[in-house]
Amino acid sequence: MSTAVIVAIIGASATLGAAVISVIWNKKHTAEAESVSSSKEARAKNQYRFDIFISAPLAGLSTDEAISADHEQIARVVALLEGQFDFSVFWAGRNIQRKADFEAADLSAKNDIAAILDSKYFLLVYPDKIASSVLFEAGIALRGCLTSIYFVRDRAHLPFLMTQASQAFANVRTYEGAMPEALVRLLQKHGKAFFEPLRAA
């Protein structure tokens, strides 16, 4: 066998070996990244305008009294996140305590989606089974946010696919409990780590 042929074989073997190593490395790197978050878009981001987007039903509530009561519950959570955690929080219901406070739906939708896509974490607060745009927002957040947390009184209140989301996606977690007490306890116990992505073991 000529020297040229031997050199060619060695060169081809080296190229093939490098390619195999590259494939293995890329698969390992992708698996590690996906163990942090299922969202490629969120993993690629370096900066966010908001630390957390809070999604809670308001427009679906039927009376000013119900809106006001729900507002007070969420406000307690927001105060904790902004005060104790020093988080920047986007909450569309911040200035809504009655039906007359709602802005035009098209403007609200545009602003909310932009804020979700510019938020690191997403927190859905879903205290009851109710038709609400929060379910739509959760879908946007699945791709746009590093972590999505669903806090519900009963996970059976969620649509079927959302009940399975925490099993299907690395960046989704679901917790059950009464609002706001149970959520506040979780936040006080775990601090900022409550929102951090959970790496696979």
Per residue in 43-85, pLDDT (tens digit) is 777 789 999 999 988 766 767 787 888 888 999 999 999 999 9
Q: Which amino acid is at 19?
A: A
- Count of domains observed in the chain: 2
- Residues 71 and 153: their CA atoms lie apart, in Å, by 17
- Looking at the fold, whether 119 and 69 belong to one and the same domain comes out as yes
Q: Which amino acid is at 88?
A: S
Asked whether residue 150 is domain-assigned, the answer is yes
- Looking at the fold, whether 64 and 1 belong to one and the same domain comes out as no
Asked whether residue 200 is domain-assigned, the answer is no
- Looking at the fold, whether 3 and 15 belong to one and the same domain comes out as yes
Q: 131 is written with which tokens?
A: 């038709």
- Looking at the fold, whether 150 and 180 belong to one and the same domain comes out as yes
Asked whether residue 199 is domain-assigned, the answer is no
- Residues 163 and 150: their CA atoms lie apart, in Å, by 10
- Looking at the fold, whether 125 and 172 belong to one and the same domain comes out as yes
Per residue in 123-162, pLDDT (tens digit) is 999 988 887 888 899 999 988 899 999 999 999 999 888 9
- Looking at the fold, whether 164 and 75 belong to one and the same domain comes out as yes
- Residues 117 and 119: their CA atoms lie apart, in Å, by 6
Structural domain for 187, as ranges: 40-194
- Is a pLDDT exceeding 50 seen at residue 108? yes
- Looking at the fold, whether 30 and 44 belong to one and the same domain comes out as no
- Residues 124 and 103: their CA atoms lie apart, in Å, by 21
- Looking at the fold, whether 50 and 109 belong to one and the same domain comes out as yes
Asked whether residue 48 is domain-assigned, the answer is yes
- Residues 61 and 133: their CA atoms lie apart, in Å, by 12
pLDDT at 105: 64
